Chains A and B, each alone.
Chain A
Amino acid sequence: MTVVPGFLPYALGGWLFLIGLYGVITSRNLIHQVICLSVVQTSTYVVILAVGYRAGAAAPIFYDIPNRVPAVDPVVAALTLTDVVVEATVTAVLLALAVQAQKRFQSLDPERLSPLRG
């Protein structure tokens, strides 16, 4: 019934992971780098939501449908919520580090950061 080929979400997850990692590695700006890391984290949402999807199924909310109706997996949806929270918190801490890097080195270019001094 579905028009999406069975492998596409997994391929998309892998591609998002690698393209985000490429961004992290080649980035010349710490803020851009943090956003690239968010792209890497997005890949996990795609993959785990894809695992829980059932073709033609409803959302797992039984407020106005009986619970006999097939619904997608609520466990992976809950895991994705955890994932989003973790992404937001990681982003906050990394951006705080970027602020401090700018203050100390007057630059956001990762290649201009000198090694840590004690």
Chain B
Amino acid sequence: MSRRQRVGLFGAAAVVAAGLWCWGAWGLPGFGHYPGPYGQLINQLVVGQRHTTDAVTAVNFDYRGLDTIGEEFILFVSALGASVLLRVLRREHLRRRPVRGVAREAPQTSEAVRLAGIMLVAPGVVLGLYVVTHGQLTPGGGFQGGVILAAVGFAVFLTGRRLDLRRILPRHLSEAGHSLGAAGFVAVGLATLALGAAFLQNILPLGATAQLDSAGFIPIVSALIGLEVACALLLIASEFLLQAEEVEDQGEQRR
């Protein structure tokens, strides 16, 4: 199909889709006129029921915990998928050292970037752990904090002269952390089953509201997810960097 035909077909389909969207959105309540009872119910009940002041975290890890397990496994499988897609193929081999003068080699890092990167490491780790552990109190939780912790890995990477994230987090550690995080959430669910409650029922003592050790198992689950997200992101990023740096096509080399 030629480009023009394709754009024409898209134009016709877009007009139909826009019409359907207008038809579908017509009866929706206007912006700012929230109709549904669920959000209001959770907002009123969450502090009393779960001793959790961040309603979003309570929904994610407790009320809707089973869905979050699915979400966590999406992340797990996609990190796995990226690793498999970026594996070292049969006709490729790992270069021992970067070849000088190739375009793919990383430019020398400036001293300013290195200094800024080093200065970001400690505050980044503290902020990441804070966000992971305070998910039940204030905005945050495992997903957000995990991304910050992975970003610390990238800051370290920026300060280095070589493109190797495996020095920051060795491969077996990131794989173990990523699997432990995914398995741990399921294990929490199975533990609640073994104790005679429903799957992922929050049976731990809820503690005093607005304290760090409140909200039952939510901080535990949040920490497990933080571990998984940080490790999965570093794993994916290290796979990409390995491609840029070290994998080289032998077929290409012979030419």
Interface of A toward B, CB cutoff 8 Å: 1-2, 4-10, 14, 17-18, 21-22, 25-26, 50-57, 59-63, 67-68, 70-78, 81-82, 85-86, 88-90, 92-93, 95-97, 99-100, 103
Contacts and interface: CB of A to CB of B under 8 A. Distances in A.
Interface of B: 3, 6-7, 10, 14, 17-18, 21-22, 25, 28-34, 36, 38-40, 42-44, 46-48, 53-56, 58-60, 64, 67-68, 71, 74-75, 77-79, 81-82, 85-86, 137-139, 143, 210, 236, 239-240, 243, 249
Given A71-B55, A75-B38, A97 B18 contact: no
A90 B75 CA distance: 9
Contacts of A9: 31
Contacts of B240: 95-96, 99
A102 B163 CA distance: 20
Nearest to A76: B39
The 9 tightest CB contacts between A and B, nearest first, are A6-B30, A73-B39, A55-B32, A89-B78, A74-B55, A60-B55, A96-B85, A63-B53, A78-B59
Contacts of B64: 75, 78
Given A63-B138, A81-B143, A92-B79, A53 B53 contact: no
